């Protein structure tokens, strides 16, 4: 990966608070594993020299081919692990599993774990068959053992559950199970790695999987290591390495860890519920429709309305579509970076909806889709789901957090330390830079006044640093250039040319004052509203200035009333008087503010 990109070491550091990303490669990563696949034993001292030479050459060819495939966009997805909290659909599913497992006493009370792995599989198969029969699922689901995959017939999963009414020549495995004789740490890791590799092959078996499966939970998987059971699902996304070509990346999501094997029926009640059966049925019909050698019949595993009303948790699982940003992160040196990515660098994966009568309703597939957007971010900012990470210097971290707490006391921000010089500021994702209404402007003025009253200025007020959420609430962000009033900003920098105050031009760098920020705020709204028409720009600046003056005069009136009450009961309020003087100064400055040609 390019040195300017976020490396795996950083991802592991950030994972403590934001995302847990534990890379696992589907291809063998060590020399011994590769040699084993090649049928060579490099530790055999009696082996002739040509064997070692052949192994070395084969190893080099394998590594060279792997690197070429990665930069050419290999058809086989790699996989990594992320927390279930990064997708609403998996968050709801994990919560549902947790609630059902801890609230239900149902289970295989007579299931005893035998020692040999083969006997464990045989006993589990017997109990699973009984479960399908008791739940009246035998006609809908089929259990398979030692399952081969279409593109890798030599690799076989221990067990799989699939839909009964599918063609014999179709490889469609929505549920995979891997067994180990006991729950030792080595066995758990091995089972997780194996079921991840099986999931990769299961995804590859789906025709045009890069189009059909993007953002969808597929497949489910379960590892049974002695008496311990882990539950997973996988979500197909994309990764973009330094070579610039995007290739598939399968994200492994652990839904539940270390459940007792006797609790498997409760787990299956959730994962094989009517909602998920309808989802898998529609996914199969959609994916194999144009690939079948003969017409694919419509599978009638619909989600009954009565069942939907009774199982609110199931409805919760099926009702969400999650926007999830998956991107490589460029760490370009820059004194500022907006929170929102540039429009030209964004690729959107659209969500298709099926028509149902006069209204557009989501299909079973789209109700379960976890990923709809892929975004490439510029600079040193990345949005990861509902969190935003921005690289800042360690020396500025304390000041930036202080400014955030002054302006947005109700917003949780934190610092993730990377090394002695670099750290990342973690903030919630607050919206897009679309300031254009009176209400947005009022919010921004009120927030800047909090900064001014504390003796600070923002220093970089522009359209990109005022974001608006879906509730039409505006937020001033990016306090990397905030300084004390009447001081020079770091490096003498002051916002973009369009929003920059006339006093800040020239050879002599002026001291930064609050009125400069308010001028930049008016210019930011004018820039967003006027497009390219010069006359409209002047009009919107005048309108923005009048709104700012109105807010300042309202604040002045409130401070005067508060001061009189304070003086009557507690004596003179010196802090209030200073705030009142500052507001009066800002009113005078904004009354004379004009755009300089």
| Predicted confidence (pLDDT) at residue 66 exceeds the cutoff of 70 | no
pLDDT tens across 302-354, in order?
333 333 333 333 322 222 222 222 222 222 333 333 344 333 232 222 222 23
Q: Picking from 66-70, 101-105, 536-540, 552-556, which range would have the lowest pLDDT averaged per residue?
A: 66-70
- 123 shares its domain with 272: yes
Residues 408 and 457 in one domain: no
pLDDT of res. 406: 94
Q: What share of the chain is helix, strand, coil (3-state, %, to 5)?
A: 45, 20, 35
Domain boundary at 253, 280, 304, which? 304
Residue 406 maps to a domain: yes
Measured between alpha carbons, how far is 150 from 492 in angstroms, rounded to an integer? 63
In this structure, the answer to whether residues 278 and 131 fall within a common structural domain is: yes
Would you say residue 47 has pLDDT above 60?
no
Residue 460's SS3 state is coil
- Domain boundary among the residues 403, 429, 455 is at 429
Could you tell me which residue, 523 or 305, shows the higher pLDDT? 523
Q: What is the mean pLDDT of residues 250-264?
A: 89
Number of domains in the chain: 3
Is 208 inside any structural domain? Answer: yes
In this predicted model, what pLDDT tens digit does every residue of 4-41 receive, in sequence order?
A: 343 444 334 444 433 333 333 333 334 344 333 333 33
Percentage of residues of the chain with pLDDT beyond 70: 66
The span from the first CA to the last CA of the chain, in angstroms, equals 47
Q: Which domain holds residue 100?
A: 77-304
Average pLDDT score over residue span 138-148: 87
135 and 275 share one domain:
yes
SS3 147: strand
Are 115 and 258 in a shared domain?
yes
pLDDT digits (tens, 9 = 90+) for 196-232: 888 888 888 888 777 777 778 888 999 999 889 999 9
Which range among 44-58, 74-88, 241-255, 265-279 shows the weakest confidence by mean pLDDT? 44-58
Please give the pLDDT value at position 115: 73
Residues 486 and 419 in one domain: no
CA distances from 481 to 337, 410, 466 (A): 11, 22, 15
Can you give 259-319 as a three-state secondary structure string? EEHHHHHHHHHHHCCHHHHHHHHHHHHHHHCCCCCCCCCCCCCCCCHHHHHHCHHHHHHHC
Distance between CA atoms of 128 and 150, rounded to whole angstroms?
25
pLDDT digits (tens, 9 = 90+) for 382-404: 776 677 878 888 888 889 999 99
Q: Is 257 a domain residue?
A: yes
Give the DSSP H or E segment for 154: strand 152-163
Q: What is the CA radius of gyration of the chain?
A: 30
- Tell me the pairing of strands 346-348 and 354-356: unpaired
CA distances from 113 to 133, 134, 246 (A): 22, 22, 44
Q: Give the residue from 247, 276, 304 where a domain finishes.
A: 304
Give the pLDDT score at 403: 94
Predicted TM-score (pTM) of this structure: 0.46
Q: Are residues 394 and 455 in the same domain?
A: no
Q: Are residues 143 and 290 in the same domain?
A: yes
Q: Are 488 and 509 in contact (CB under 8 A)?
A: yes
**One domain for residues 446 and 424:** no
Residue at token pair 């959609």? 286
Neighbouring C-beta atoms of residue 413, cutoff 10 Å: 16
Higher pLDDT, 246 or 132: 132
Q: 255 with 237: CB under 8 angstroms?
A: no
- Residue whose structure tokens are 């589990």: 124
Q: Is residue 123 part of a domain?
A: yes
The domain that contains 586 carries what CATH number? 1.10.510.10
DSSP letters for 85-97 = GGSHHHHHHHHHH
Same domain, 394 and 450: no
């Amino acid at each position: 990966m390019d040195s300017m990109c976020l490396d795996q070491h950083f991802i592991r550091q950030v994972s403590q608070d934001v995302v847990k990303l534990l890379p696992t490669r589907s291809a063998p990563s060590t020399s011994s594993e590769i040699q084993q696949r090649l049928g060579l034993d490099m530790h055999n001292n009696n082996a002739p020299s040509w064997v070692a030479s052949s192994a070395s050459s084969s190893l080099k060819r394998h590594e060279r081919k792997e690197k070429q495939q990665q930069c050419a966009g290999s058809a086989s997805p790699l996989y990594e692990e992320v927390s279930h909290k990064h997708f609403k659909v998996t968050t709801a599913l994990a919560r549902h599993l947790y609630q059902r497992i801890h609230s239900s006493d149902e289970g295989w009370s007579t299931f005893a774990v035998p020692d040999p792995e083969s006997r464990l599989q045989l006993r589990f198969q017997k109990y699973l068959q009984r479960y399908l029969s008791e739940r009246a699922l035998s006609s809908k689901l089929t259990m398979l053992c030692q399952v081969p995959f279409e593109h890798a017939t030599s690799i076989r999963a221990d067990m799989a559950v699939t839909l009964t009414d599918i063609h014999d020549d179709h490889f469609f495995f929505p549920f995979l199970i891997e067994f180990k004789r006991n729950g030792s740490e080595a066995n758990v890791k091995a089972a997780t790695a194996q079921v991840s590799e099986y999931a990769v092959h299961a995804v590859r078996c789906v025709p045009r999987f890069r189009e059909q499966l993007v953002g969808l939970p597929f497949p489910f998987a379960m590892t049974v290591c002695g008496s311990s059971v882990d539950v997973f699902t996988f979500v197909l996304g994309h990764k973009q390495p330094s070579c610039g070509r995007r290739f598939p990346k399968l994200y492994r999501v652990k839904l539940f860890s270390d459940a007792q094997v006797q609790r498997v029926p409760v787990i299956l009640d959730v994962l094989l519920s009517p909602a998920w059966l309808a989802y898998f049925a529609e996914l199969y019909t959609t994916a194999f429709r144009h690939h079948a050698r003969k017409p694919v019949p419509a599978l009638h595993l619909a989600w009954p309305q009565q069942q939907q009303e009774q199982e609110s948790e199931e409805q919760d699982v099926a009702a969400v579509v999650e926007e999830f940003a998956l991107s490589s992160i460029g760490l370009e040196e820059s004194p500022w970076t907006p929170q929102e990515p540039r429009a030209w660098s964004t690729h959107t994966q659209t969500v298709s909806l099926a028509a149902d009568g006069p209204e557009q309703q989501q299909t079973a597939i789209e109700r379960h889709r976890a990923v709809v957007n892929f975004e490439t971010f510029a600079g040193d900012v990345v949005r990861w789901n509902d969190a935003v990470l921005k690289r800042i210097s360690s020396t500025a971290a304390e000041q930036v957090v202080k400014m955030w707490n002054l302006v947005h006391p109700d917003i949780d921000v934190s610092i993730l330390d990377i090394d002695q010089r670099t750290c990342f500021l973690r903030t919630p994702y607050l919206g897009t830079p679309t300031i254009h209404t009176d209400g947005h402007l009022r919010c921004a003025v009120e927030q800047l006044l909090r900064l001014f009253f504390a003796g600070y200025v923002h220093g970089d007020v522009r359209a990109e640093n005022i974001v608006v959420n879906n509730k039409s609430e505006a937020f001033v962000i990016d306090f990397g250039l905030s300084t004390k009033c009447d001081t020079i900003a770091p490096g003498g920098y002051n916002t973009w040319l369009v929003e920059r105050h006339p006093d800040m031009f020239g050879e002599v760098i002026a001291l930064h004052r609050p009125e400069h920020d308010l001028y930049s705020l008016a210019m930011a709204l004018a820039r967003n509203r006027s497009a390219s028409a010069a006359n409209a720009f002047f009009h919107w600046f005048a309108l923005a200035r009048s709104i700012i003056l109105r807010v300042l005069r309202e604040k002045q009136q409130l401070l005067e009333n508060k001061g009189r009450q304070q003086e009557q009961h507690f004596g003179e309020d010196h802090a209030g008087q200073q705030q009142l003087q500052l507001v009066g100064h800002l009113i005078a400055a904004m009354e004379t503010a004009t755009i300089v040609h």
